[in-house]
Structure 1
Amino acid sequence: MEHAAVFRLIVGLGNPGRQYAGTRHNAGFAVVDELARRCASDFRFEPKWNAEVASCGGRLFMKPQTFMNLSGEAVGNYARYYRLEPGEVLIVIDDVALPFGDLRLRKTGSPGGHNGLESVLMHLGTEAVPRLRVGIGAASGALHSHVLGQFTPDEKAQLEDLYSRAADAVEYANAHGVEAAMNIYNKKTTV
């Protein structure tokens, strides 16, 4: 039986700046925002990590401010400084390969074409980093425009539930282990 994970660092990936707020690519930011909200913890900018951070019960929530493709710099620097093992870090990212509303937890794996996750894995030196992928739906046109675009009105109406379920998945994985959480949250769903 797998022991509960103890994530000391939970990172939501996204892009900083008002022009990116609410975009599909910032789903990771939105999930850690929900986790921090549940703890009544506010984010503050920490220049040492070039990230917004919020703490809660021995965990740190992080939103790197380096832009998506360089996210690994903040994560790697923090993990090295505090000597975190890869299994103590959880990355939350958007995923165009998943239908909107689906969640996928994994203990390890390739970046799957996600440049932000690729940066994190490179800076941590391993693919054995747990991650939660949040389905944002496939692009009907240019991928760049899709991930940096806003959600449709129908999708926006479902975001609160999606981000809440994603935060539930993180909390469950932290309490019961990633594999146990995978059995519950990795099912196809309609939001």
Structure 2
Amino acid sequence: MFLVVGLGNPGKEYEKTRHNVGFNVIDLLSNKYNINLNRKKFRGEYGNGILEGEKVLLLKPQTYMNLSGESVNEAVNFYKIPNNKIIIIYDDISLDIGKIRIRPKGSAGGHNGIKSIISNLSSDQFIRIKVGVGGPNGDLVSHVLGRFQNKDKENIEKVFEVVLNAVETIIKHGVSEAMNRFNGVYID
């Protein structure tokens, strides 16, 4: 079983913000694979289903970003999911809009949601898909809690499709294949 987690913040005021790109991708996976996210457990909203012939658990932590690891850890412990079958999708301000980066492990890179997951799992060995949201021109908090506008909004929709393909590739062919196919891609 794979655990696919999209990071974000719960609540209407955070919908469609840069910080919630992980939630957006989970919603798209849910729709594409008809996996209903109507269950509440693990301090999150989740649903089980089949994706590329594999059992998956789609999870949107409802703990707010900085405590995401608590939700992820509960699901991992309940289902006994190995770290190499955990996929975390989240925003990255160091990548331009239109880029994604897939890694099998690594540091938090300043992202509080990833810091929380590393802390709760006591490991940095899990797959992550970083979705570029561009760097701030001013205040970081205002930037990540802001919404995409104009061309950026169009581009991020295209990027979400690439992320869906990346998740499918990881599950079907492995993280190395996904890195080879998607790490150099730039959507403009």
TM-score higher than 0.5: yes
Name the residue aligned to 1:18.
12
Indicate the SS of the match to 1:179.
Answer: helix
Name the residue aligned to 2:153.
156
2:179 alignment partner, one of 172, 176, 182: 182
Q: Kindly provide the CA deviation profile for residues 97-132 of structure 1, in whole angstroms up to 9, marking residues without a partner as x.
A: 001010100000001100001101111110111100
Query: How far off its partner does 1:13 sit?
Result: 0.2
1:63 alignment partner, one of 60, 64, 67: 60
Indicate the SS of the match to 2:109.
Answer: coil
Indicate the SS of the match to 1:9.
Answer: strand
Q: Distance in 2 between matches of 1:106 and 1:42?
A: 28
* Range that drifts further, 53-62 or 102-111: 53-62
| AA of the residue aligned to 1:152 | Q
Query: How far off its partner does 1:143 sit?
Result: 0.6
Residue 36 (structure 1) aligned with residue 30 (structure 2): yes
| AA of the residue aligned to 2:170 | A
- Normalising by structure 1, we get a TM-score of 0.93
Q: Kindly provide the CA deviation profile for residues 130-169 of structure 1, in whole angstroms up to 9, marking residues without a partner as x.
A: 1000000111111111000011221112232111111111
| AA of the residue aligned to 1:32 | I
Q: Distance in 2 between matches of 1:11 and 1:109?
A: 17
Q: How many aligned positions are there?
A: 184
C-alpha root-mean-square deviation of aligned residues, in Å? Answer: 1.1
Residue 51 (structure 1) aligned with residue 51 (structure 2): no
4+ residue stretches of structure 1 with deviation over 3 A?
A: none
Query: How far off its partner does 1:188 sit?
Result: 4.2
Q: Distance in 2 between matches of 1:64 and 1:95?
A: 18
Indicate the SS of the match to 1:174.
Answer: helix
Query: How far off its partner does 1:16 sit?
Result: 0.3
| AA of the residue aligned to 2:43 | N
1:119 alignment partner, one of 69, 91, 116: 116
Q: Distance in 2 between matches of 1:124 and 1:180?
A: 25
Q: Distance in 2 between matches of 1:39 and 1:22?
A: 21
Q: Distance in 2 between matches of 1:99 and 1:130?
A: 20
Name the residue aligned to 1:4.
none
Name the residue aligned to 2:83.
86
Residue 129 (structure 1) aligned with residue 141 (structure 2): no
Residue 77 (structure 1) aligned with residue 74 (structure 2): yes
Quick one: percent identity of the two aligned structures?
Answer: 40
- Normalising by structure 2, we get a TM-score of 0.94
Q: Distance in 2 between matches of 1:69 and 1:121?
A: 12
Q: Distance in 2 between matches of 1:186 and 1:158?
A: 16
Residue 27 (structure 1) aligned with residue 24 (structure 2): no
